[in-house]
A and B are shown apart, each in its own frame.
Chain A
Amino acid sequence: MFDRNTGEKRLYGINASPGISIGKAYIVDKEGVDVVEKYLIREKQLKKEVNRFKSAVKKAKDELNAIIEDTPEDLRRHATILETQRALLKDKMIYGKTIEIIENEHVNADWALKKAVSRVKSMFQKLPDSYLRERAADIGYASDRILRNLVGAKQVNIGEIYKRVILVANDLSPAETSQIQLEKIKAFVTNQGSKASHTAIVARTLEIPAVLGLEDATSVIQNDDVIVVDGSTGMVVIHPGEETLIDFAERKIRYNDQKAALTRRSHFPAETSDGIRLQVMGNIELPEEVVSVLAHGGDGIGLYRTEFQYLSRTDFPSEDELFDKYMDVVEVMAPKPVTIRTLDINGDKAISNTSGSDEPNPALGLRGIRYCLTKPEVFITQLRAILRAAAFGNVRIMFPMISTLDEILEAKKVFNETADSLNKEGISFNKDIDIGIMIEVPSAVVMADLMAKEVDFFSIGTNDLIQYSLAIDRENSKVANLFQPLNPAIIRMVKHVTDVARDNNVKIFMCGEMAGYPIHMPILLGMGINELSMNPQSIPAVKTMIRSLSFEDSKLFIKDVLKKTSAKDILDLLQDSYGDILPDKYITG
């Protein structure tokens, strides 16, 4: 949408992390030098043009060498990717071909390189194997590096942003987000991604506004453009006029005031008007995040993701290392509960030191408990660390990706054997802890009545449950709009699991994204969920919402919800019934 009067342009994407930010755009675009001019080179100048290309390649190689040297030991896996890129620079299909095109067609080096590369890329896109198809991207990175040296563009190094900017990118991989100096980032804007993608999670954790899935943000927004990012509504304004700037500056102040007001009340319990108390917990990945959970009034840790200790390294963490990380959390939180989820390797966070990580379809592959049961030595090391940490606080253990009853029995068997061996070794530990499972695979929903006999609690992981039940890849922006927590199918599944849990005296928790939105509270409360776990930043608003509800009313409300036939109808019903008591539309997501 382009406004002729003000020169403003508005883009609409996915509101992935709330808040408002106004600032200058910093484009991290791998195809940022895509506009390549073509011009003819005179016969006499050909040699000079070839040399210009050669020195650009040399420069690219020097740059990569410098980056590889600077890569710390523990990121060696990243370095091998860079080494492959370095080897690609001199590959004859790029290097030789480009020189050949310059000489035969008498064209400039930039154009010749682009032509050589696009031929190679199209060759790769025809390959049957998706892993290899994606290697076209590596070739792209290598050739972009040369191209940037040819046109003299400044090298984009996200590690070296020197002013506070709004980061605009096609997409950010977990590796890239780990490189960014996050304190320099005011907001995220990306072409791809969705509410549940890695960038969104990072943004919400750090309380930075983010609008994702804009498709062409990197081509529409120019470097240093002044832009407004409204992560609450999912809008980006390019070249805002004066009125828009004033409007958003005011909204920003209002948003911050409301957030501060919510946070002030966040330490009061989440108790309904009729005296039912819910536990509102925080999800964490790093021990450091405990501070944030406590600051936002969390009643404990409902999900401690343990994958981080296994990333960016070439060997497995030792028992003592893991024990230290768990202790950091358990001791600080005690006597509040800490729910440790055992290793749940998945697609974009695959461990670096196992060759089996390259699966064609990781979401349906060897992950979670499946992986742990095939790698007993890895599993036992982690269980030992958890059992030992359990002696120092209130620990619960949770197994992810359970899809069959046998997996629970087997995992519990390993758990008991591990406790026995600790006992024999005379090491202090505590095995009297709650054992639970993630309910995130549809088969676990169907089997919940039998599984309930084997565990102390269920924790519904809505992100994966929605992905597997509705067959939606949440990272795919083409279908991300169908990733609906309020889809009647999901509501019914959650209801079924909750009913089964109540009938079997099993505690019922929820730790997916769904638990973090105030607007979902009437449904989750009405179904009788005992405990909700979410991003620490969502805790205050969720608590405030629960305090304004009545359990009995919510139970009745569920009956109306179950009559609705679509996610939209359910959302409308929620908004009609509870819209006026929502803490603030900007904080509800």
Chain B
Amino acid sequence: MVESGKEYSREVVIVNELGLHARSAAKIAKLAQNAKSTIWMMEKSEKVDASSIIDILTLACPKGSKITLTIDSQSDVDILNDIVSLIERGFEE
């Protein structure tokens, strides 16, 4: 399950007060649904599909959680960056 190449994976910390709740998960999923292949989200040992709100919610990430996002296909790198930036901006809440 380990990705090859640094550019395929990015780490980000959840900064918004509520953590990954339904509304923020919906925003991530919306972006991830445009990807050609799967965008994965990992927290500790859990790995989920970022295009599914439900999957994201099951990670149960509070504020301060460290998340790793990885992509299977380099063509999704823009979407990956968009998601990272969305999380860094605290979902504009």
Residues B17 and A120 in contact, CB atoms below 8 Å apart: no
**B contact residues around A80 at 8 Å (CB):** 23
The secondary structure that dominates the A interface is helix
B87 at the interface (CB under 8 A from A): no
> Which residues from 510 to 552 on chain A have a C-beta closer than 8 Å to any C-beta of chain B?
none
Q: A88-B54, A355-B93 are in contact. List 17 more A-B contacts (CB 8 A).
A: A83-B26, A87-B26, A87-B53, A88-B26, A88-B53, A91-B29, A92-B52, A93-B54, A124-B58, A127-B58, A128-B60, A129-B19, A131-B21, A132-B21, A135-B21, A139-B54, A358-B21
Residues B21 and A93 in contact, CB atoms below 8 Å apart: no
**A contact residues around B51 at 8 Å (CB):** 92
Residues A355 and B17 in contact, CB atoms below 8 Å apart: yes
Complex: A132 Cα to B16 Cα, angstroms: 15
A419 at the interface (CB under 8 A from B): no
Complex: A356 Cα to B29 Cα, angstroms: 24
> Which residues from 113 to 143 on chain A have a C-beta closer than 8 Å to any C-beta of chain B?
120, 123-124, 127-129, 131-132, 135, 138-139
**A contact residues around B57 at 8 Å (CB):** 124, 127, 132, 135
A94 at the interface (CB under 8 A from B): yes
**B contact residues around A83 at 8 Å (CB):** 26
> Which residues from 19 to 48 on chain B have a C-beta closer than 8 Å to any C-beta of chain A?
19, 21-23, 26, 29-30
Residues A84 and B58 in contact, CB atoms below 8 Å apart: no
Task: List 21 A-B residue pairs with CB atoms under 8 Å apart, sorted by A's residue number.
Answer: A80-B23, A83-B26, A84-B26, A87-B30, A88-B54, A91-B29, A120-B54, A123-B54, A124-B57, A127-B57, A127-B60, A129-B62, A131-B18, A131-B21, A132-B57, A132-B60, A135-B22, A355-B17, A356-B17, A358-B17, A358-B18
Least distance between B91 CB and chain A CB atoms (Å) = 10
Residues B93 and A87 in contact, CB atoms below 8 Å apart: no
Least distance between B86 CB and chain A CB atoms (Å) = 15
A73-105 vs B, Cβ < 8 Å mask (1 yes, 0 no): 000000010011001100111100000000000
Complex: A84 Cα to B20 Cα, angstroms: 13
Complex: A286 Cα to B19 Cα, angstroms: 35
Residue in B closest to A355 when the chains form the complex, CB atoms:
B17
Q: Which of A87, A94, A355 lies in contact with B18, CB distance below 8 A?
A: A355
B72 at the interface (CB under 8 A from A): no
B72-93 vs A, Cβ < 8 Å mask (1 yes, 0 no): 0000000000000000000001
Known: A91-B29, A358-B17. A84 touches B23 (CB 8 A): yes
Complex: A449 Cα to B38 Cα, angstroms: 65
Least distance between A157 CB and chain B CB atoms (Å) = 22
Least distance between B25 CB and chain A CB atoms (Å) = 8
Residues A84 and B52 in contact, CB atoms below 8 Å apart: no
Residue in A closest to B29 when the chains form the complex, CB atoms:
A87
Residue in A closest to B53 when the chains form the complex, CB atoms:
A91
**B contact residues around A94 at 8 Å (CB):** 54
**A contact residues around B58 at 8 Å (CB):** 123-124, 127
**A contact residues around B62 at 8 Å (CB):** 129
Instruction: Find the residue from A84, A120, A355 having the highest chain B CB count within 10 A.
Output: A84
Residues B30 and A355 in contact, CB atoms below 8 Å apart: no
Complex: A124 Cα to B22 Cα, angstroms: 12
**B contact residues around A129 at 8 Å (CB):** 19, 60, 62
